[in-house]
Every structure is written in structure tokens, then in C-alpha cells.
Chains A and B, each alone.
Chain A
């Protein structure tokens, strides 16, 4: 078994306490009341579980505000990875030996955890891939290329990440048309335009759950209803890369057909992504890649493919990282996704307030923290995002700068690039304060 002895265990009553203790209130009375589970407290408490946060960058405390790119990793996840390699490393599914059985059990147990985490009907609906991008490509290759014909339409939105645009652009060579839904002045999706875009020819609507630039949380349930009412046959794919790490996602309730996300943005290792799809769709779909684990029986000229979900997992999978991903899910489950979301709303609200006080700053996205994830994109007049990021780095602060893999959205916003700060469970007010101080330094250095 993976060694989870370091995993945080939070009794039910202290989970309740967690809800009311946010943002690094180290000295609050409540903090001292909660002794053992105090490590589970957001910000200051939780930071102790993340070894990387203990180091100094350029002589300064590391202030990591780039979790939308990839999250940092808790020790329990790193330990699970190490434990697999040190104690039961072996290939899975066909090994008749102790190590192989243990590895298979752990690998498949992560699948069950993922299914439960996003409330899928069955673990057969959970396909492990490398990342969100590959999950979307799987749908583009296995489903879209076999089911769409010239004249069919795919609807996307202007706020999509490149990974949810480029795979669909490739289908244009087969005569498939792309349509884009715009945002309104509050940076929310124009639902009226979306409704009007859906026609009998619409075969797929593929959109993000949470924007990786604007932070906007799209009302997916409502959107699914709008689409299905106009065209019940249209399929819906949700890019959940920025949602699953931060919100409680319930795919059954959302009623989408496909849902894609990545482990590395939710405390897990790189190299693991998930495609959820309704079982009846997966049954009909042809495999994406061929060979290895996706096979049941092979003759010289023909092959019988494996059952779901393995039909879509060719070759030896990323065993170690999938197992460690399970430890990351356990960690998040212990904290509770509602608590994660509440913490991020609080922090985003605080950051929006503080950032707004800076002169000549433009913040993109809704000003209402409740309408958005913990992602804030901004620009300071006269300061190029690369210069901002570089000067902040000198202060130990990591933010993202550039087009954030959303060039069509940049064009829509009328900018070349943005600065982006993003938060997660280990961030606290102190990090926001450091960034604000850093931004003042940016202005000083650039003589703005």
C-alpha cells in the first residue's frame, strides 16, 4: 500500500472550524484551539505540507502565485510517488505477482477516487490520459472525426485556452465549421448569443468551466440546458482544467457529455489527465491509440479491443503518477472542496480590493469575487508583463506573464499580454500583500 501516514486526517468537527478560519490568521483564538488538524488550515497552516514553499527565491520568501499554470505539491503526494517506486514498482493488469497486484489495485483505486470526486456514474467513465489537452484531443480524434461531416458546426467561446481551440481547428479541413461565442462587458459569456448560435447542425459545444485568464466561472448547468433545449443531439465538452482543482464539480448534475481536467493543477503530479465521458458515448467511440493495455485478443490481422475504460489507455500507463494523483485527491477531499472554494473567494476578494488601489492598473474579468475563480489578470499602464514578472521574481514572487495560452482572448481584450496572479489553498493574505508591495517596486524600477 502507498504510505499515507503523513496524510492529513481532519475530524469532522474541525472541518467545520476550517470553514471559518481563512487567510493566515495565525494568531486567532480559533487557530490555537485546533491543535492536531491545524496543519489543514488554509494559507499558513497548509503551507507546512508543501516542502517547496519553505525555500527562498532570490533570498526572499517564495510567494507562489502561478497555480493556474501548475499547483505546488503536498508532501503526501510526493511520498506516494516515492512509495510506489521504492515498494511496489511493477507493471499493472496482467502481473501474477504481489507487486503487480498491489500496483494494479492502487492504480485502479485512483480511478474510483476520481469517479467519486467528480460524481461520475461509474469508474468506467474515467479515462487516464496525459493532460487536459490530450483528453480534448481524444474526443476530437475518436469521437468528432468519426461522427462529424462537412457542414456540421462546433461552437467554442472566445475565452478558450488554445488547447480547446486548436484541436477543433484541425477539423476545418473536413468542412466542419467553427463558431465563437463572445463575452459581454462584464466578461461573462453572452448566453443569448450562445443560444442563437446553436442550430440543427451543431454537433458539439466545447467550452471552459473556469477561464484561465478572466477567472469567470461559467454557469455550465444553465448552458447545458440552453444547448440541449435547442438541439438535444449536440454534445457538450467542458474543459475543467481550472475548475476541478478549485470547485466541487458534479458531472452528473452538470449533465455534460465530456469533461476534461489535469492532475498537475490540483496538487497531483504532471503527466496525468482525465477524460470523463458518458459511458454510452465511450462504448461507441473507437480507440484513440492502439497497442498494449487497450487490447483483449490479437490475431495476425484483427484485434478485439479491451473493455471500458482500458479501451482508451494504450500501452503501459503512467502508473506512478496516477497512484500519486490518488493521494492528491485524498488530500483535497480531506479539506473539502467547498472550503477550498470559499478560501479562494475570500483571497480573490482581498486581492481585487488591494489591486484596485494601484494607480493605472487595469483588471480584466468580473469585479465580483463570487463570480470568479482565484485567477486575476491585470496590466499596469506602461509596464510590460514580462518586466512586471521579472521584477516580482526578484522579490521571490512568481506570477505568470504573457498571452496565457489564450491569444484570441488577448485580441478580444485588445492587449498583447497580461500579468496573471492565481491562488490556491496554500496562499494567504500575506502573499497578496507581498505582491502589492512588489508591484510598487515595479513602478519604481520602471520609473512609472
Chain B
């Protein structure tokens, strides 16, 4: 039961994230930090002809890192209007693993960074 949270996809994304790194002269960026566990995620977004690319950096647990990676994948090739209203539920659905209350913050850290980034602008 509990181990479902560490599904193959999550562990693979944690060990070998597809979207880890930095974007030079990003159009949007923000960093979010969870002082409870020390997890940190910086999310950067760049627009090309209205289409987005996103990368993240930072450190943390498997859930926060995999979630940020999956989120960056989700943002890719979308337009801002398509991602600016992403809900908590949208992200937990993308993860497709059972998230308990105590781990929700881990799962949503990337989303918080996305929201801050869009609010901040570049």
C-alpha cells in the first residue's frame, strides 16, 4: 500500500530527472522552500513564440523532486493561459500516486514555485 507512493515512474524521475537544470535569462522564475524538511525548488520558464519550456533545480525528497520534474514536463509546449490556473488536484493527478496529508507539501512545492514565478514575472 504505502509503497505505491514510490512507483517506478517517481523513482526514475527522482534519480534521473528529465527537466533538471537552469535556463539562462528566464522569463519567469521563483524559488520555494519548505523549512520543515529543507526542500528547495527553483522553477524557471522561458517562452518561445508563446510556447513554454521549464526547468527546475534544487534538492529534496523523491516526491518533491519527481513532482517538480513532472510539472516541468507538463508545462512544456503549453501557453501561459493553459497553466496559470493549475490546481493542486491537477498536480496530484499527474503524479498518479497516493499522497497522504503529510506529504502533500512535498508534492506541491513545484506548483507553488510555478505560481510564484508567474506572479513575479521575470
Contacts and interface: CB of A to CB of B under 8 A. Distances in A.
Contact of B61 (A386, A393, A415): A386
A282 to B, nearest CB: 37
Contacts of A58: 1-2
A445 B36 contact: no
B11 A446 contact: yes
Contacts of B62: 384, 387, 446
B14 A446 contact: yes
Interface string B43-61: 0000000000000000111
B37 A384 contact: yes
A441 B28 CA distance: 40
A289 B69 CA distance: 51
B103 to A, nearest CB: 7
Of A386, A391, A416, the most chain B CB neighbours within 10 A belong to: A386
Given A386-B37, A394-B2, A402-B36, A447 B15 contact: yes
Given A386-B106, A387-B61, A445 B38 contact: no
Contacts of A386: 37, 61, 63, 103, 106
B2 A416 contact: no
Contact of A416 (B1, B5, B6, B37): B37
Contacts of B59: 416
B56 to A, nearest CB: 16
A385 interface: yes
A401 B38 CA distance: 11
Nearest to A416: B38
B63 A387 contact: yes
B37 A446 contact: no
Nearest to A445: B6
A58 B3 CA distance: 10
A417 B38 contact: yes
B120 to A, nearest CB: 24
Contact of B37 (A391, A417, A445, A447): A417
B38 A390 contact: no
Interface string A382-412: 0011110011011000000111000100100
Interface residues of B, number: 20
B50 to A, nearest CB: 37
Interface in B19-41: 35-39
Interface residues of A, number: 20
A393 B5 CA distance: 12
Contacts of A384: 37, 39, 60-62
Interface string A362-399: 00000000000000000000001111001101100000
B4 to A, nearest CB: 9
A390 B37 contact: no
Given A58-B1, A390-B103, A445 B61 contact: no
A401 B15 CA distance: 21
Given A386-B61, A386-B103, A394 B1 contact: yes
B6 A391 contact: yes
A394 B1 CA distance: 8
Interface in A402-433: 402-403, 407, 410, 415-417
Of B6, B15, B63, B103, the most chain A CB neighbours within 10 A belong to: B6
A417 B61 CA distance: 11
A446 B66 CA distance: 12
Of B5, B59, B62, the most chain A CB neighbours within 10 A belong to: B62
A390 B60 CA distance: 14
A217 to B, nearest CB: 27
Contacts of A401: 37
Nearest to B40: A416
B98 to A, nearest CB: 11
A349 to B, nearest CB: 30
8 contacts: A384-B39, A384-B62, A385-B61, A387-B6, A387-B62, A391-B6, A393-B2, A416-B37
Given A386-B106, A387-B61, A446-B6, 14 more contacts: A385-B37, A385-B61, A387-B62, A387-B63, A403-B35, A403-B36, A403-B37, A403-B38, A416-B37, A445-B11, A446-B11, A446-B14, A446-B15, A447-B11
